[in-house]
A and B are shown apart, each in its own frame.
Chain A
Amino acid sequence: MSKYTFKLDGHGFNKSWVRSFKTLDSFLNSIEAQSQFAQHDEGKRKELLTKVFTECNDSGPKPSTSLDAKAASKAEVKK
């Protein structure tokens, strides 16, 4: 599995695409998400999609903060 992919229940999701949604609701309401997990009922589909959204946003490198950058800068000076 690619590090850019999250897999669940036979579906492979593009993490970047999932992360492009700012909120869970906007993801759940997207026409692409609504076409997923068609074999399940509405409740199960929402549960699975929520897991997809949560996992994709929890995994992978996070953007560094300005504080991180300052700390890194100080460490570089100490060397």
Chain B
Amino acid sequence: MIYDLDNFTCISDDCANTGMPACTFKPGYTGGVILVPKGKVFTKTEFQAIIATFQAAASEDSPANRIIPIKTFTTVERADSEAVYETAGSSTFFIKDGKLGINARLDESEHHWKKLRKYNDKQGSYDAIIIDTTNNSFQGVKVAGGWKGYTLDQIAVPQPNGATNTTGFHYMFKIVFKYISEFENSAHIQLENSVNVLDVVNGLIDFSFVETVAITNGGVYKAKLMASGQNLGDLYATELADPAAFVATIDATGVAVTIASVAYVGATGAFTFTFTLPLVGVLPVGGTFTLNAAAPSVLAGLNVPGYSGCPVTLTRIS
């Protein structure tokens, strides 16, 4: 087994005796978080195979169902709000809890910040699982029917800290947890030591269609497929020379355009896409259609795992 649901056996929700069991758990260093679709509850079957579950969820075809790993934090500061007290005479009375939060620093690229910025203020769409590197574990909340991420009050990805003559480019990622009560039901899934909790789940890598050129004489276009500076033609020339790896639709009508063939031209490092000429009569010259990669699961089935496409708009030129 590569998991150990230690705290699942430690929690006794209705009891309050304070003798310590053998499986006490002390959260350690937070190395990252995983944003999970809001309200998603992992069933027992899912969390008993948490690595496979997370890896599948990170490659979900539907972005709405996809989990988003955010890592690796360089430093993490507390960003808690103060508990509220009231003074009456010479006594101070506790009124209510503050909120827990973390302010994490990432020393990643500007490109990474641009990606993360998409999640700024998206606390309404995600819960968060904490990646605990000290205990090699995932930390979430025990709920009826399973295990879930912490509800969030805020996700903030503010402007980055530009490079100076003493510090490099970096940026902060802040989350505030909504309910202290969820920490009363924290439950940890601990991995075996042979598995690094930071390495088991990665986000999809976006690739773009760049240097797109329409070749006259109908529906022939060429494009390089670039993933963060890496030409996918260098890695997947054979696998991606496949019409099944792509989809195309006419923008105005949503009608699918058949991709007749895809070929890789090594000399240019670009792929050539030939679309069927039902474009003629269906899409007027000057009309646009969108080319994108097929769903991540389809790409994985073609031995191109871990990628997602960014669509490009093409114009019929003749």
Contact of A5 among B217, B242, B276 (CB under 8 A): B242
In angstroms, Cα B238 to Cα A11, docked, is 8
CB contacts between A and B, total, < 8 Å: 75
Check: B215 CB closer than 8 A to any chain A CB: yes
In angstroms, Cα B261 to Cα A7, docked, is 9
A residues 2-20 in Cβ contact with B at 8 Å = 2, 4-5, 7, 10-14, 16-18
Task: Give the interface residue-count category, chain A.
Answer: 10 to 19
Check: B226 CB closer than 8 A to any chain A CB: no
**Is A2 a contact partner of B244 (Cβ separation < 8 A)?**
yes
Check: B259 CB closer than 8 A to any chain A CB: yes
In angstroms, Cα B240 to Cα A2, docked, is 11
> Given the complex, which residues of A lie within 8 Å of B245, measured CB to CB?
2
Check: A59 CB closer than 8 A to any chain B CB: no
Number of interface residues of B (CB under 8 A): 29
**Is A10 a contact partner of B244 (Cβ separation < 8 A)?**
no
Check: A72 CB closer than 8 A to any chain B CB: no
Q: Can you list, as one digit per residue, whether each of B192-216 has a CB less than 8 Å from chain A (1) or not (0)? A: 0000000000000000000000010
Contact of B263 among A4, A16, A36 (CB under 8 A): A36
| A interface secondary structure, majority | mixed
Given known A-B contacts A2-B242, A7-B241, A7-B242, A14 and B260 have beta carbons under 8 A apart: yes
Check: B11 CB closer than 8 A to any chain A CB: no
Residues on A lying within 8 angstroms of B by beta carbon are: 1-2, 4-5, 7, 10-14, 16-18, 30-32, 35-36, 39
Residues on B lying within 8 angstroms of A by beta carbon are: 215, 217-220, 237-239, 241-245, 258-266, 272, 274-277, 301-302
21 A–B contacts, CB within 8 A, in A order? A1-B242, A1-B302, A2-B243, A2-B302, A10-B237, A10-B238, A10-B241, A11-B261, A13-B243, A14-B243, A16-B258, A17-B261, A30-B277, A31-B277, A32-B219, A32-B220, A32-B276, A35-B218, A35-B220, A35-B272, A36-B261
